[in-house]
Structure 1
Amino acid sequence: MKKTIYALFAFLIVGMSVSQAQIEIGSATLPETVTFEGQELVYNGAGVRKKAWFKLYSGGLYLVKKSSDAKDIMEADESMAIKLHITSRLISSKKMINAVNDGFENSTNGNTAPIATEIEKFKGFFSDEINDGDIFDIVYTKGNGVTVYKNGTKKGTISGLEFKKALFGIWLSDKPADKKLKKGMLGK
Protein backbone atom coordinates (compact mmCIF):
# COMPACT_ATOMS: atom_id res chain seq x y z
CA MET A 1 0.00 0.00 0.00
CA LYS A 2 2.83 2.40 0.91
CA LYS A 3 4.55 1.68 -2.41
CA THR A 4 1.35 2.47 -4.28
CA ILE A 5 0.94 5.79 -2.44
CA TYR A 6 4.58 6.73 -3.07
CA ALA A 7 4.29 5.79 -6.74
CA LEU A 8 1.09 7.84 -7.08
CA PHE A 9 2.73 10.79 -5.31
CA ALA A 10 5.82 10.59 -7.55
CA PHE A 11 3.60 10.36 -10.64
CA LEU A 12 1.66 13.48 -9.60
CA ILE A 13 4.84 15.47 -8.94
CA VAL A 14 6.35 14.49 -12.30
CA GLY A 15 3.05 15.26 -14.05
CA MET A 16 2.90 18.72 -12.46
CA SER A 17 6.47 19.46 -13.54
CA VAL A 18 5.73 18.51 -17.13
CA SER A 19 2.48 20.48 -17.25
CA GLN A 20 4.17 23.59 -15.86
CA ALA A 21 6.89 23.41 -18.52
CA GLN A 22 4.42 24.25 -21.29
CA ILE A 23 1.68 26.82 -21.82
CA GLU A 24 -1.56 26.20 -23.72
CA ILE A 25 -2.43 29.13 -25.98
CA GLY A 26 -5.45 28.56 -28.17
CA SER A 27 -4.91 25.17 -29.79
CA ALA A 28 -1.10 25.40 -29.51
CA THR A 29 1.34 24.45 -26.78
CA LEU A 30 4.27 26.80 -26.17
CA PRO A 31 7.31 26.06 -24.00
CA GLU A 32 8.16 28.14 -20.92
CA THR A 33 11.72 28.59 -22.15
CA VAL A 34 13.54 28.39 -25.47
CA THR A 35 17.26 28.38 -26.24
CA PHE A 36 18.82 29.85 -29.37
CA GLU A 37 22.53 30.40 -30.01
CA GLY A 38 23.19 29.27 -26.43
CA GLN A 39 20.92 32.00 -24.98
CA GLU A 40 18.00 30.85 -22.84
CA LEU A 41 14.91 33.01 -23.20
CA VAL A 42 11.87 32.97 -20.91
CA TYR A 43 8.23 33.06 -21.85
CA ASN A 44 6.96 36.62 -21.53
CA GLY A 45 3.40 36.13 -22.77
CA ALA A 46 1.32 34.94 -25.68
CA GLY A 47 -1.97 35.22 -27.46
CA VAL A 48 -3.91 34.19 -30.52
CA ARG A 49 -3.91 36.08 -33.84
CA LYS A 50 -7.48 36.27 -35.06
CA LYS A 51 -9.01 37.64 -38.21
CA ALA A 52 -12.79 37.88 -38.15
CA TRP A 53 -13.66 34.76 -36.14
CA PHE A 54 -10.78 32.62 -37.43
CA LYS A 55 -7.85 31.76 -35.18
CA LEU A 56 -4.81 31.94 -37.48
CA TYR A 57 -1.86 31.32 -35.14
CA SER A 58 -0.73 31.38 -31.54
CA GLY A 59 2.20 33.68 -30.91
CA GLY A 60 4.54 33.77 -27.93
CA LEU A 61 7.18 36.32 -26.98
CA TYR A 62 10.41 35.20 -25.29
CA LEU A 63 12.87 37.56 -23.63
CA VAL A 64 16.04 37.45 -21.53
CA LYS A 65 13.92 38.80 -18.65
CA LYS A 66 10.20 39.53 -18.51
CA SER A 67 8.90 42.95 -19.53
CA SER A 68 5.54 44.55 -20.23
CA ASP A 69 6.97 47.63 -21.98
CA ALA A 70 6.47 47.22 -25.74
CA LYS A 71 8.66 50.18 -26.68
CA ASP A 72 11.57 48.98 -24.53
CA ILE A 73 11.30 45.50 -26.01
CA MET A 74 11.28 46.79 -29.60
CA GLU A 75 14.24 49.12 -28.96
CA ALA A 76 16.33 46.63 -26.96
CA ASP A 77 19.54 45.30 -28.46
CA GLU A 78 19.30 41.98 -26.66
CA SER A 79 18.29 38.47 -27.58
CA MET A 80 14.58 37.75 -27.93
CA ALA A 81 12.24 35.58 -29.97
CA ILE A 82 8.71 35.29 -31.24
CA LYS A 83 7.29 31.81 -31.76
CA LEU A 84 4.41 31.53 -34.22
CA HIS A 85 2.47 28.28 -34.15
CA ILE A 86 0.20 28.12 -37.21
CA THR A 87 -3.24 26.81 -36.21
CA SER A 88 -5.28 27.35 -39.38
CA ARG A 89 -5.36 26.00 -42.91
CA LEU A 90 -6.32 29.52 -44.00
CA ILE A 91 -2.69 30.67 -43.71
CA SER A 92 -0.85 30.38 -47.00
CA SER A 93 2.53 31.63 -48.12
CA LYS A 94 0.89 34.42 -50.10
CA LYS A 95 -1.32 35.50 -47.18
CA MET A 96 1.62 35.43 -44.79
CA ILE A 97 3.71 37.59 -47.13
CA ASN A 98 0.82 40.06 -47.51
CA ALA A 99 0.45 40.19 -43.72
CA VAL A 100 4.20 40.83 -43.38
CA ASN A 101 3.94 43.70 -45.88
CA ASP A 102 1.07 45.25 -43.91
CA GLY A 103 2.89 44.66 -40.64
CA PHE A 104 6.03 46.47 -41.74
CA GLU A 105 3.96 49.36 -43.15
CA ASN A 106 2.18 49.74 -39.80
CA SER A 107 5.29 49.20 -37.70
CA THR A 108 7.31 51.86 -39.55
CA ASN A 109 4.44 54.30 -40.15
CA GLY A 110 4.92 53.71 -43.87
CA ASN A 111 8.68 54.33 -43.87
CA THR A 112 9.92 50.93 -45.09
CA ALA A 113 12.44 52.33 -47.62
CA PRO A 114 15.48 52.18 -45.27
CA ILE A 115 14.95 48.44 -44.70
CA ALA A 116 13.34 47.46 -48.03
CA THR A 117 16.11 45.00 -48.94
CA GLU A 118 15.85 43.28 -45.55
CA ILE A 119 12.05 43.09 -45.81
CA GLU A 120 12.29 41.39 -49.21
CA LYS A 121 14.75 38.84 -47.86
CA PHE A 122 12.51 38.22 -44.81
CA LYS A 123 9.45 37.62 -46.99
CA GLY A 124 11.45 34.99 -48.87
CA PHE A 125 11.58 32.91 -45.67
CA PHE A 126 7.81 32.37 -46.06
CA SER A 127 7.83 31.39 -49.74
CA ASP A 128 7.48 27.64 -49.08
CA GLU A 129 4.05 26.17 -48.48
CA ILE A 130 2.71 26.89 -44.98
CA ASN A 131 0.62 24.23 -43.24
CA ASP A 132 -1.50 24.01 -40.13
CA GLY A 133 0.92 22.94 -37.38
CA ASP A 134 4.00 24.68 -38.80
CA ILE A 135 6.10 26.56 -36.24
CA PHE A 136 8.13 29.64 -37.06
CA ASP A 137 10.76 30.93 -34.64
CA ILE A 138 11.81 34.52 -35.32
CA VAL A 139 14.92 35.05 -33.21
CA TYR A 140 16.98 38.17 -32.68
CA THR A 141 20.48 37.56 -31.35
CA LYS A 142 22.59 40.55 -30.38
CA GLY A 143 25.50 40.90 -32.76
CA ASN A 144 24.04 38.39 -35.22
CA GLY A 145 20.64 39.70 -36.31
CA VAL A 146 17.29 38.06 -36.93
CA THR A 147 17.25 34.36 -37.78
CA VAL A 148 14.08 32.61 -38.93
CA TYR A 149 13.47 28.91 -38.35
CA LYS A 150 10.60 26.90 -39.81
CA ASN A 151 9.90 23.70 -37.91
CA GLY A 152 13.45 23.86 -36.51
CA THR A 153 15.13 24.35 -39.90
CA LYS A 154 17.06 27.58 -40.36
CA LYS A 155 15.70 29.65 -43.26
CA GLY A 156 18.21 32.49 -43.02
CA THR A 157 19.55 35.46 -41.08
CA ILE A 158 19.17 39.21 -41.56
CA SER A 159 21.50 41.57 -39.72
CA GLY A 160 20.64 45.01 -38.41
CA LEU A 161 19.07 46.40 -35.26
CA GLU A 162 16.79 48.76 -37.22
CA PHE A 163 15.29 45.81 -39.07
CA LYS A 164 14.77 43.98 -35.78
CA LYS A 165 12.96 46.99 -34.28
CA ALA A 166 10.56 47.19 -37.24
CA LEU A 167 10.06 43.42 -37.28
CA PHE A 168 9.14 43.12 -33.61
CA GLY A 169 6.99 46.21 -34.13
CA ILE A 170 4.69 44.09 -36.30
CA TRP A 171 3.37 42.63 -33.05
CA LEU A 172 4.34 45.29 -30.50
CA SER A 173 4.02 48.73 -32.17
CA ASP A 174 1.18 51.21 -31.73
CA LYS A 175 -0.42 49.58 -34.81
CA PRO A 176 0.09 45.87 -34.05
CA ALA A 177 -1.13 42.94 -36.13
CA ASP A 178 -3.64 42.19 -33.36
CA LYS A 179 -4.20 44.30 -30.21
CA LYS A 180 -5.21 41.35 -28.04
CA LEU A 181 -2.20 39.36 -29.24
CA LYS A 182 0.07 42.29 -28.34
CA LYS A 183 -1.47 42.51 -24.89
CA GLY A 184 -1.01 38.76 -24.41
CA MET A 185 2.63 38.86 -25.54
CA LEU A 186 3.27 41.61 -23.00
CA GLY A 187 1.88 39.38 -20.27
CA LYS A 188 -1.13 41.59 -19.61
Structure 2
Amino acid sequence: MQEPEILTATSMDEAVSSSSRRQFVMGAAAAALAPWATPAQAAVTLEGVELEESVVVGGRKLILNGAGVRRRGYFKADVTALYLPEKRTTAEGVMKLDGYRRIQLNILREFTSSTISRIFIADFKQAATEEEFKKLIDVISQIGAAYSNVKRVVKGDVVNLDWVPGKGWMAFHNGKMLTVEGAAASINNELAYQIYLRMYIGANAPEDLRNGLLGLTKLPRTGD
Protein backbone atom coordinates (compact mmCIF):
# COMPACT_ATOMS: atom_id res chain seq x y z
CA MET A 1 0.00 0.00 0.00
CA GLN A 2 1.39 3.34 -1.06
CA GLU A 3 2.05 5.66 1.81
CA PRO A 4 0.37 9.08 1.67
CA GLU A 5 2.56 11.91 0.52
CA ILE A 6 3.72 14.11 3.36
CA LEU A 7 3.90 17.80 2.52
CA THR A 8 7.06 19.24 3.95
CA ALA A 9 7.67 22.95 4.35
CA THR A 10 9.88 22.79 1.27
CA SER A 11 7.27 21.06 -0.90
CA MET A 12 4.57 23.52 0.23
CA ASP A 13 6.80 26.45 -0.71
CA GLU A 14 7.42 24.89 -4.12
CA ALA A 15 3.65 24.43 -4.67
CA VAL A 16 2.92 28.05 -3.74
CA SER A 17 5.77 29.22 -5.96
CA SER A 18 4.43 27.16 -8.87
CA SER A 19 0.93 28.58 -8.37
CA SER A 20 2.30 32.11 -8.27
CA ARG A 21 4.21 31.54 -11.50
CA ARG A 22 1.05 30.28 -13.21
CA GLN A 23 -0.91 33.35 -12.06
CA PHE A 24 1.88 35.61 -13.27
CA VAL A 25 1.95 33.94 -16.71
CA MET A 26 -1.85 34.13 -17.04
CA GLY A 27 -1.84 37.80 -16.00
CA ALA A 28 0.92 38.61 -18.48
CA ALA A 29 -0.96 36.87 -21.27
CA ALA A 30 -4.15 38.82 -20.47
CA ALA A 31 -2.22 42.09 -20.47
CA ALA A 32 -0.64 41.22 -23.82
CA LEU A 33 -4.08 40.54 -25.35
CA ALA A 34 -5.68 43.70 -23.88
CA PRO A 35 -4.89 46.01 -26.85
CA TRP A 36 -6.89 43.65 -29.10
CA ALA A 37 -9.86 43.35 -26.75
CA THR A 38 -13.07 45.13 -27.76
CA PRO A 39 -13.26 48.32 -25.68
CA ALA A 40 -16.47 49.25 -23.91
CA GLN A 41 -18.26 52.16 -25.56
CA ALA A 42 -17.58 55.41 -23.73
CA ALA A 43 -20.55 56.78 -21.84
CA VAL A 44 -21.99 60.19 -22.62
CA THR A 45 -21.25 62.72 -19.90
CA LEU A 46 -23.00 66.07 -19.67
CA GLU A 47 -22.69 68.49 -16.73
CA GLY A 48 -21.07 65.70 -14.76
CA VAL A 49 -24.03 63.37 -15.40
CA GLU A 50 -23.15 60.05 -17.04
CA LEU A 51 -25.89 58.86 -19.38
CA GLU A 52 -26.38 55.24 -20.37
CA GLU A 53 -26.17 54.44 -24.07
CA SER A 54 -29.25 52.21 -23.77
CA VAL A 55 -32.00 51.46 -21.26
CA VAL A 56 -34.80 48.90 -20.98
CA VAL A 57 -38.38 50.16 -20.76
CA GLY A 58 -41.24 47.69 -20.50
CA GLY A 59 -38.90 44.90 -21.57
CA ARG A 60 -37.78 46.78 -24.70
CA LYS A 61 -34.31 48.16 -25.35
CA LEU A 62 -34.20 51.88 -26.13
CA ILE A 63 -31.14 53.79 -27.32
CA LEU A 64 -29.97 57.28 -26.39
CA ASN A 65 -31.20 59.60 -29.12
CA GLY A 66 -29.70 62.75 -27.62
CA ALA A 67 -29.42 64.91 -24.52
CA GLY A 68 -29.32 68.54 -23.48
CA VAL A 69 -29.39 70.88 -20.51
CA ARG A 70 -32.74 72.39 -19.57
CA ARG A 71 -32.55 75.80 -17.94
CA ARG A 72 -34.87 77.78 -15.73
CA GLY A 73 -33.87 81.41 -16.06
CA TYR A 74 -30.17 81.61 -15.22
CA PHE A 75 -30.12 78.19 -13.57
CA LYS A 76 -29.46 74.76 -15.01
CA ALA A 77 -32.42 72.64 -13.95
CA ASP A 78 -31.59 69.20 -15.30
CA VAL A 79 -29.84 67.14 -17.94
CA THR A 80 -32.61 65.80 -20.15
CA ALA A 81 -32.07 62.62 -22.17
CA LEU A 82 -34.34 61.11 -24.82
CA TYR A 83 -34.41 57.35 -25.39
CA LEU A 84 -36.14 55.83 -28.44
CA PRO A 85 -36.39 52.44 -30.20
CA GLU A 86 -34.37 53.93 -33.06
CA LYS A 87 -32.63 57.23 -33.79
CA ARG A 88 -34.62 60.21 -35.04
CA THR A 89 -33.32 63.68 -35.92
CA THR A 90 -36.60 65.57 -36.34
CA ALA A 91 -39.48 66.25 -33.98
CA GLU A 92 -41.90 64.91 -36.60
CA GLY A 93 -39.94 61.67 -36.80
CA VAL A 94 -40.05 61.23 -33.03
CA MET A 95 -43.78 61.94 -32.87
CA LYS A 96 -44.54 59.36 -35.55
CA LEU A 97 -42.71 56.58 -33.74
CA ASP A 98 -45.17 53.93 -32.62
CA GLY A 99 -43.67 52.41 -29.53
CA TYR A 100 -41.77 52.80 -26.30
CA ARG A 101 -40.09 56.06 -25.28
CA ARG A 102 -38.36 57.57 -22.29
CA ILE A 103 -37.63 61.13 -21.25
CA GLN A 104 -35.09 61.10 -18.45
CA LEU A 105 -34.48 64.09 -16.19
CA ASN A 106 -31.21 64.12 -14.25
CA ILE A 107 -31.80 66.81 -11.64
CA LEU A 108 -29.14 69.51 -11.17
CA ARG A 109 -30.76 71.62 -8.44
CA GLU A 110 -33.44 71.38 -5.77
CA PHE A 111 -37.13 71.91 -6.55
CA THR A 112 -40.14 71.55 -4.26
CA SER A 113 -43.28 69.69 -5.31
CA SER A 114 -45.24 72.93 -5.68
CA THR A 115 -42.58 74.36 -8.00
CA ILE A 116 -42.50 71.15 -10.05
CA SER A 117 -46.28 71.18 -10.50
CA ARG A 118 -46.36 74.88 -11.37
CA ILE A 119 -43.57 74.52 -13.97
CA PHE A 120 -45.18 71.44 -15.51
CA ILE A 121 -48.60 73.07 -15.92
CA ALA A 122 -47.10 76.24 -17.43
CA ASP A 123 -44.93 74.30 -19.89
CA PHE A 124 -47.73 71.89 -20.81
CA LYS A 125 -50.13 74.76 -21.48
CA GLN A 126 -47.57 76.47 -23.71
CA ALA A 127 -46.96 73.27 -25.71
CA ALA A 128 -50.67 72.42 -26.16
CA THR A 129 -53.33 74.17 -28.17
CA GLU A 130 -56.18 75.75 -26.22
CA GLU A 131 -58.50 72.95 -27.34
CA GLU A 132 -56.01 70.23 -26.32
CA PHE A 133 -55.47 71.81 -22.92
CA LYS A 134 -59.21 71.92 -22.20
CA LYS A 135 -59.64 68.35 -23.43
CA LEU A 136 -56.87 67.09 -21.14
CA ILE A 137 -57.66 69.10 -18.01
CA ASP A 138 -58.49 65.93 -16.01
CA VAL A 139 -55.26 64.26 -17.17
CA ILE A 140 -53.25 67.36 -16.28
CA SER A 141 -54.78 67.34 -12.80
CA GLN A 142 -53.85 63.67 -12.39
CA ILE A 143 -50.25 64.34 -13.42
CA GLY A 144 -50.08 67.33 -11.10
CA ALA A 145 -51.36 65.17 -8.23
CA ALA A 146 -48.65 62.57 -8.94
CA TYR A 147 -45.97 65.27 -8.91
CA SER A 148 -47.30 66.65 -5.64
CA ASN A 149 -46.47 63.32 -3.97
CA VAL A 150 -42.79 64.06 -4.58
CA LYS A 151 -41.97 66.44 -1.75
CA ARG A 152 -38.83 67.65 -3.49
CA VAL A 153 -36.16 66.66 -5.96
CA VAL A 154 -32.49 67.39 -5.37
CA LYS A 155 -29.27 67.28 -7.36
CA GLY A 156 -28.50 63.71 -8.36
CA ASP A 157 -32.13 62.55 -8.47
CA VAL A 158 -33.38 60.85 -11.63
CA VAL A 159 -36.92 61.17 -12.96
CA ASN A 160 -37.97 58.83 -15.79
CA LEU A 161 -41.10 59.55 -17.78
CA ASP A 162 -41.92 56.50 -19.91
CA TRP A 163 -44.47 55.71 -22.56
CA VAL A 164 -45.36 52.00 -22.67
CA PRO A 165 -47.91 50.96 -25.32
CA GLY A 166 -50.99 49.42 -23.75
CA LYS A 167 -50.16 50.83 -20.31
CA GLY A 168 -49.58 54.51 -20.94
CA TRP A 169 -47.48 57.24 -19.42
CA MET A 170 -45.65 56.29 -16.24
CA ALA A 171 -43.36 58.43 -14.08
CA PHE A 172 -40.60 57.20 -11.76
CA HIS A 173 -38.58 59.12 -9.17
CA ASN A 174 -35.29 57.37 -8.35
CA GLY A 175 -36.79 54.11 -9.59
CA LYS A 176 -40.01 54.40 -7.56
CA MET A 177 -43.21 54.77 -9.54
CA LEU A 178 -45.29 57.86 -8.74
CA THR A 179 -48.78 57.22 -7.41
CA VAL A 180 -52.09 59.06 -7.06
CA GLU A 181 -54.15 58.18 -3.99
CA GLY A 182 -52.08 55.04 -3.52
CA ALA A 183 -52.57 53.76 -7.07
CA ALA A 184 -49.95 53.71 -9.81
CA ALA A 185 -50.07 56.92 -11.84
CA SER A 186 -50.32 55.22 -15.23
CA ILE A 187 -52.00 57.57 -17.69
CA ASN A 188 -53.07 55.85 -20.90
CA ASN A 189 -53.39 58.97 -23.02
CA GLU A 190 -50.89 59.24 -25.87
CA LEU A 191 -51.91 62.79 -26.77
CA ALA A 192 -50.80 63.93 -23.31
CA TYR A 193 -47.41 62.27 -23.79
CA GLN A 194 -47.08 63.74 -27.29
CA ILE A 195 -47.65 67.20 -25.82
CA TYR A 196 -45.08 66.41 -23.13
CA LEU A 197 -42.59 65.59 -25.91
CA ARG A 198 -43.37 68.95 -27.53
CA MET A 199 -42.21 70.64 -24.32
CA TYR A 200 -38.72 69.36 -25.13
CA ILE A 201 -38.49 69.00 -28.91
CA GLY A 202 -41.40 71.11 -30.18
CA ALA A 203 -41.25 74.48 -31.89
CA ASN A 204 -41.46 76.39 -28.60
CA ALA A 205 -38.72 74.38 -26.87
CA PRO A 206 -35.31 76.07 -26.41
CA GLU A 207 -33.27 75.50 -29.55
CA ASP A 208 -30.16 74.18 -27.80
CA LEU A 209 -32.23 71.67 -25.80
CA ARG A 210 -34.21 70.57 -28.86
CA ASN A 211 -31.08 70.10 -30.98
CA GLY A 212 -29.40 68.13 -28.21
CA LEU A 213 -32.32 65.74 -27.78
CA LEU A 214 -32.62 65.24 -31.54
CA GLY A 215 -28.97 64.23 -31.73
CA LEU A 216 -27.97 67.30 -33.74
CA THR A 217 -25.39 68.34 -31.13
CA LYS A 218 -22.28 66.26 -30.51
CA LEU A 219 -22.24 65.08 -26.92
CA PRO A 220 -19.04 64.80 -24.85
CA ARG A 221 -18.03 61.30 -23.85
CA THR A 222 -16.21 60.10 -20.78
CA GLY A 223 -12.50 60.60 -21.33
CA ASP A 224 -12.86 63.25 -24.07
State the TM bucket, normalised to the shorter chain.
Answer: 0.7 to 0.9
Unmatched 5+ residue regions in structure 2?
1-23, 179-184, 217-224
Taking the aligned partners of 2:36 and 2:157, their CA distance within structure 1 comes to 31
Q: Which residue of 2 aligns with 1:137?
A: 160
Is the alpha carbon distance of 1:186 and 1:38 closer, same or farther for their aligned partners in structure 2, counting shifts above 3 Å?
same
* Change over 3 Å in CA distance of 1:110–1:28 after alignment to 2: farther
The equivalent of 1:82 in structure 2 is 103
Deviation at 1:160, TM superposition (A): 1.4
- CA distance in structure 1 between the aligned counterparts of 2:136 and 2:36, rounded to whole angstroms: 51
**Hey, what's the Cα distance between the residues in 2 that align with 1:8 and 1:51?**
51
Partner of 2:142: 121
Corresponding residue of 1:153: 176
Output the CA distance in 1 between the equivalents of 2:146 and 2:35. Answer: 42
The 1:66/1:95 distance shift into structure 2, 3 A limit, reads same
Aligned sequence identity (%): 22
Is 1:170 the counterpart of 2:199 in the alignment? yes
Report the structure, 1 or 2, having the larger strand content: 1
TM-score, normalised relative to structure 2: 0.74
Find runs of 4+ consecutive structure 1 residues off by over 3 angstroms: 1-6, 8-14
Q: Deviations over 1:100-150 (max 9, x none)?
A: 112111211344111111111112222212122111110011222111111
1:103 aligns with 2:130: no
Q: What are the superposed Cα offsets for residues 49-105 of structure 1, whole Å, 9 maximum, x if unpaired?
A: 12333211000000000001112313433111101010112x222222122112111
Aligned length: 183
* Map of 1:187 onto structure 2: 215
CA distance in 2, matches of 1:85, 1:123: 19
Report the TM-score when normalising by structure 1: 0.87
The answer to whether 1:28 aligns with 2:46 is no
Q: Over aligned residues, Cα RMSD in angstroms?
A: 2.3
What amino acid sits opposite 1:108 in the alignment?
Answer: A
For 1:55 and 1:12, the matched residues in 2 are separated by 41
Q: Distance in 2 between matches of 1:179 and 1:8?
A: 48
Q: Distance in 2 between matches of 1:9 and 1:87?
A: 41
Deviates more, 1:54-63 or 1:97-106: 97-106
Gaps of 5+ in 1: none
Does structure 2 retain, via aligned residues, the 8 Å contact 1:41–1:63?
A: yes
In structure 2, what is the Cα distance between the partners aligned to 1:81 and 1:181? 16
Pick the structure with greater CA Rg. Answer: 2
